[in-house]
Structure 1
Amino acid sequence: MKGRDIDMARMLLGLTLSLCLAVGLWLPQVAAASVDPVFSVTTSTNSLLQNQTVKVDIQGDSLNDLFAYELNLYYDGSILQPDTTQKFTDLNGFALPIKIVREGGTHVQLVYTKTGSLTGLSGSVKLGTLTFRAVGTGTVDLTLKQVKISTSSLKEEKLLTPNAKATILVDSRERPTLGSYPAPTVSTPAEPNVVSVKPEQLQTSGTEKIAISLPTGAQQILLPSNTAELLGDKKLEIQAEKLKLELPAEVFTQLINLVNELERSDSKITLAIEPDNEPTVGEGVLSQATNQLGASVKLGSLIYNIKLYVTTKAGQTLSVTSFEQPVQIQFKLDSAVNPKLSSVYYISDNGGLERVGGTYFSGDLSSDISHFSKYTVLEVSKSFADVPQSHWAADVIQELASKLIISGTSEQNFEPESKVTRAQFTALMARALKLKMTNSTTSFQDVQSSDWFAPEVAAAVQAGIVNGREIDKFEPNALVSREEMTAILMRSYSLLHGKTDPAAAPSFSDEAAIGQWVLADVKAAAALGLIQGRSEGQFEPQGFATRAEAAQVLYRLLSK
């Protein structure tokens, strides 16, 4: 969300709260007084060392129809620094990004409102969770001084001053436990899971990339604010134990540009690579994957939560939501999974899974990603009752289904011998090529923007891999012939690899039946091994392609 949009959202929510107050003053007052809710602030620990983190929960009890709220939690910014890149609540509704406010004392402001609901929150509810990092030492109070609340009836707004408080002690060294003796004063070592990269480490000449290998257990890399400048046109390679990241300098340029130019030199860049070893997390991902993908699923790597952010001297934390240049992520694949059935998956905040891709080489699975979040590798094994292992296209169908490029006609069946329509084959190619589907509008009278295949047809026409049968007719429900399939196949090959050089191709006994408009494509496809004849050296150009044949030619195309 852009800054202007966030400011507008805050203004609208403020107007909503003000409207609640105005309506409440205008309507007749109810005699019975409502009971005010009770708020509390709790922390995951009451003492920690410098550079360690603490979680802070804000709880609301005795709530009655709480529809919108604004929480203002005050703290000492010289000792604690909040992580503003995370969401503070998973409640259904609309929550603004965490905001740091300096006026009137340093505090974080959390704003939330329900949406599309007739009633507000009642009873006991966790209203917010924050993560703070200790950047200084001393005793610090986290005080919830002000809370604004509104009910769903828009008749009442209240400004409360609960002054709920939690106290934390931040020390520069371990404190002695009861019965032990104080340790002698020594210089404080860096946290074992934090690695600081010095500017001179990013200035190696004569290489295309700067490689940084992390020691076992390291989860955070601190980088200079001018990392992009130091890298120049090189990439930064971060090698963890079972994960490798390759970041172009442009990503760091995009990140530091979020900071005011005068504040950049005093800012710090942090790259966090946090493996999640909790068994319940892995079990949850597998359960979600099985339900969402309808297949047998295995974890092929650890689950990693990856974050990249810049922290200003004032304590503001900023991050990029989408990279302008892709970052390559590379997993060390578990030897127990089949690499042909494995892909890199993005895990969203609500647990949903999105396949990113994956190229396998020498024990590693890599893919380009456009943002950081949680990622893992999943082996997806999908079988169909009507495709036995003895079927000539069984392995191809299983592999393409595992990569979500093709799907069955139902949960159990694939119907390999069923014929393929022009819309179906076009959609198959567009998805396999990952064409950008920006709109659903075409010039064809028989393709409506509401049709399920409209975005794919529009993208394929724009990419130049498919044409209509007439100027204004696509005939989406017509069966695709083998010569039409080959023409689309070779245009897609050219899109991926450029034009092909003429090569010796096997001849077909029915070559005279092949349309002149597609004869060169048929010869080129046969020479490349993308297509084969059906029987007795015949191509059968007017024969209709089956679902198994479509899967086979697509597999060959993607394997080139």
Structure 2
Amino acid sequence: MKPAVFKKTAQVTVMMLIISIMLPVLAFAASGFKDVKYENGTVTGTVYSDVYSVNSQVYMYSPSGTQLNVTDVTYSVYDGVYNYKFTASGLGTYDYINLYGPVGSSVYGEAITDSVYKAVYRTSTPPTGGGGIIGGGGGGGGGWMSGSETIIVYADGSVNADRLKDSFEKYDTVTLSLNGDFVLIPAKALVNFVSNPDKMLKITNSTGTYNLPLNVLKLDDLAAKLNVTVDELIIKASISKADDATTNAVNAAANAIGGTLVSSIVDFSITGLGKEDNKVAVDFGSNYISRVLPMVKAVNPGQTTAVLYDPATSKFSFVPALFSEKEALIKRNGSSIYAVIETSKTFGDINGHWAQNYITLLANKLVVDGVTDTTFEPERSITRAEFAALVVRSLGLSTSSTGTTFSDVASDAWYAGVVDAASKAKLIDGYEDGTFKPNATINREELAAMVVRALNYAGAKPAVTSEEQAQLLGKFKDASSIVWANEEVATAIKAGIIDGMTDDMLGARSTATRAQSATMLKRLLTTAKFIN
């Protein structure tokens, strides 16, 4: 943006020239705005400086940075500073506009370098909040507002800490609109707001958007890991398109599974920066951070999935996502390379099966696999390790290469990583002897318990009172066959995750099938709002 400059006016009096000659010239002038009002497309107010200038103009910009007007100002009075009044009409209707000034030449030819910024809010309507990726900004007068404000971030990524802090004091949502691929956020600007669950930082460019609730940031822990104070801590958020090598690799991986890319390939990353180039990934725990990824076309959600690309394995994994028009809202608690692909997968042995639609949907989401490329075997039983892997995959969790949580889970077993991830996320328990029994078939009681724990991890577990539990289980004649998971089974029934085998038989101890597993996973993902 251009700074405001002062343009010559005819109203300056001889007396003011005499006074200005008598006053010292300041290399860095104190400047500002006061008594500013924006109403019905017209802005009025006063701009001042303690250096007298022969140039008088103020520049005005929309929330997105479009220049709206440049207006001459008129000298008004000297009351310790030089005051100039201004008026501009025909600005349109925005929740707020940005003013810049005063920058220009003083009467002595010295540059006035202390230019100032002010956002002036429309007084005719209250704050309306943001909209779309960028957000629209708040409204109303001074003080705290529930709307939003946009701050333009230039290619160097820098953000003024005082400006950001001031914005969060007034608004629940602040959008950082990037001209480049990254932003460097001073943690000290956020420290007063991280305990407020309503405060949201949106970080956006033409490639994508981060939606970052401030209460997920553990600034003290992050600073301690980097051996710096919170005042010294910088949070770097980047949204960048993949390089050519990664793009080629992702296209090859999509072709290998019969998929078609319908978005750019984007690396979303948030790290903490310390001294001497020290950095560490920001740990969001079980908090799912949403990202908006634009798509090249509108899609059928049933045949579309967001994926995480792993450069180490050159493979995709499912990522929770909702699709609307030409945008994917991706939800995950870690940084990575993401894309959206269309697939069209089915299996010959599920035609006409009661779970056909569930199985097809999750196959296209890359959540379930077939036994072969063409068969699913829906009525086959499923093991504890196999279902743990499906739940971990449904939640988009990262897996380690080894797992030693249980004595009977070998570090080189195919399921070692997923069992370890499931244990750390408190999705599974072992037996009293320290084993997991990964190859034992899983029953419906165990299935329900694992799915309810997954709902809890995703923050979508419904509460069930003891009275509700008795009512929900009481309609089934065989409810007494539940060994240990009464609360989990009741919760699963309330959430619509499981049904009875018949109207009055639950079948909690029955061996679960692959079709039943797919059905519960689909309901889990829908309840958690992880798929459309």
TM-score of the superposed pair, with normalisation by structure 1: 0.50
- Structure 1 residues 277 and 468 mapped into 2: Cα distance closer, same or farther (>3 Å)? closer
Give me the whole-angstrom Cα distance separating, in 1, the residues matched to 2:332 and 2:463.
25
Are 1:244 and 2:205 counterparts? no
User: Residues 377-526 of structure 1 correspond to what in structure 2 (within 5 A)?
Assistant: 377-388=340-351, 390-433=352-395, 440-442=403-405, 444=407, 446-457=408-419, 460=422, 465-467=427-429, 471=433, 474-494=436-456, 496=458, 497=461, 499-501=463-465, 502-503=467-468, 504-505=471-472, 510-511=477-478, 514-515=481-482, 517-519=484-486, 521-526=488-493
* Number of the residue aligned with 2:282: 323
The 5 Å alignment of 1:276-355 reads 285-291=250-256, 294=257, 296-305=258-267, 318=277, 320=279, 322-325=281-284, 328-347=290-309, 352-355=314-317
- Structure 2 alignment gaps of length 5 or more: 1-152, 194-198, 528-532
CA contact (8 A) 1:309 1:317 kept: no
The structural deviation recorded for 1:548 is 0.5
Tell me, yes or no, if structure 1 residue 543 matches structure 2 residue 516: no
Residue equivalent to 1:37: none
- Aligned residue number for residue 83 of structure 1: none
Task: Kindly state the Cα deviation for residue 450 of structure 1 after the two structures are TM-superposed.
Answer: 3.8
The answer to whether the Cα contact below 8 Å between 2:320 and 2:396 also exists between their aligned partners in 1 is: no
Q: Does structure 2 retain, via aligned residues, the 8 Å contact 1:342–1:358?
A: no
CA deviation profile, 1:483-534 (whole Å, cap 9, x unmatched): 3433444454455527523434376664267245445544443333221223
Given that 1:329 and 1:369 are in contact with CA atoms closer than 8 Å, whether structure 2 keeps it comes out as no
The letter of the residue matching 1:238 is: I
State the match for 1:124 in structure 2: none
User: Is 1:375 matched with 2:367?
Assistant: no
Contact 1:397-1:551 within 8 A present in 2 as well: yes
Please give the TM-score of this superposition, normalised by the length of structure 2.
0.53
* CA-CA distance at 1:415 after TM superposition: 0.9
Deviations 1:325-376 (A, max 9, x none): 486432134443233444444445679344362331644412336346x533
Q: Secondary structure at the match of 2:442?
A: coil
Q: Is the contact made by 2:319 and 2:395 (CA closer than 8 Å) also made in structure 1?
A: no
Q: Secondary structure, in 3 states, of the residue corresponding to 2:441?
A: coil
Q: Do 2:478 and 2:506's aligned partners in 1 also have CA atoms closer than 8 Å?
A: yes
SS in structure 1 of the partner of residue 517 of structure 2: helix
Structure 1: how far apart are the matches of 2:387 and 2:209? Answer: 36
Deviation at 1:451, TM superposition (A): 3.3
Counterpart of 2:11 in structure 1 is: none
Q: What SS does the corresponding residue of 1:386 show, helix, strand or coil? A: helix
Map of 1:86 onto structure 2 = none
Q: Is 1:228 aligned to residue 200 of structure 2?
A: no
Aligned residues of 1:273 and 1:306 also touching (Cα < 8 A): yes
User: What's the counterpart of residue 498 of structure 2?
Assistant: 531
Q: Which residue of 2 aligns with 1:211?
A: 175
For structure 1, the residue ranges without an aligned partner over 5 or more in a row are 1-190
1:366 alignment counterpart: 330
| Structure 2 counterpart of 1:239, one-letter code | T
Aligned equivalents of 2:310 and 2:488: distance in 1?
42
Report the Cα distance in structure 2 between the residues aligned to 1:199 and 1:356, rounded to whole angstroms: 37
- Distance change (3 Å), C-alpha of 1:193 and 1:471: closer
Give 1:551's aligned amino acid: A
Change (3 A) 1:192 1:555: closer
- What per-residue deviation string (whole Å, max 9, x for no partner) do you get for residues 264-306 of structure 1? 79xx99866444798x986653322232xx2x32223223356
Say whether the 8 Å CA contact 2:270–2:282 is kept in structure 1: no
Distance of 2:386 and 2:300 partners within structure 1: 29
Q: Count the aligned residue pairs.
A: 353
Distance 2:188 2:371 in 1: 53
| CA distance in structure 2 between the aligned counterparts of 1:221 and 1:361, rounded to whole angstroms | 25
Which segment drifts farther, 360-369 or 302-311? 302-311
**How far 1:550 moved relative to its partner?**
0.9
Q: 1:505 to 1:427 in 2, by over 3 A?
A: same
- SS across alignment from 1:212: strand
CA contact (8 A) 2:161 2:188 kept: no
**Alignment CA distance shift 1:462-1:359 (3 Å):** closer
Aligned residue type for 2:293: F
How far does residue 546 in structure 1 lie from its aligned partner after superposition? 1.1
SS in 1 for 2:414: coil
Q: Is the 8 A contact 1:194 1:220 kept in 2?
A: no
Distance 1:519 1:247 in 2: 37
Counterpart of 2:70? Answer: none
Does structure 2 retain, via aligned residues, the 8 Å contact 1:356–1:367? no
**1:420/1:308 Cα in 2 relative to 1: closer, same or farther (>3 Å)?**
closer
After superposition, what is the alpha-carbon deviation per residue over 1:425-479, rounded to whole angstroms, capped at 9, x for unaligned?
Answer: 33333443456766633555x5444433344445545655545566466544333
Question: In 2, distance between residues paired with 1:275 and 1:412?
Answer: 35
Change (3 A) 1:289 1:230: same
List aligned pairs for 1:26-425, cutoff 5 A.
197-199=159-161, 201-202=163-164, 203-204=166-167, 205-214=169-178, 218-220=179-181, 227-232=186-191, 233=193, 236-241=201-206, 243-246=208-211, 273-275=239-241, 285-291=250-256, 294=257, 296-305=258-267, 318=277, 320=279, 322-325=281-284, 328-347=290-309, 352-355=314-317, 357-360=319-322, 362=324, 363-368=327-332, 370-371=334-335, 374-388=337-351, 390-425=352-387
Of 544-553 and 419-428, deviating more is 419-428
Q: What is the DSSP-based 3-state SS (H/G/I as helix, E as strand, rest coil) of the residue aligned with 1:505?
A: helix
Q: Give percent identity, aligned residues only.
A: 27
Moved more, 506-515 or 398-407: 506-515
Kept in 2, the 8 Å contact 1:272–1:308? The answer is yes
User: How far off its partner does 1:409 sit?
Assistant: 1.3
Aligned to 1:428, what secondary structure does the other structure show?
helix
Letter in 2 for 1:304: V
SS of equivalent residue, structure 1 residue 378: strand
Residue 196 of structure 1 and its aligned partner are, at CA, apart by: 6.4
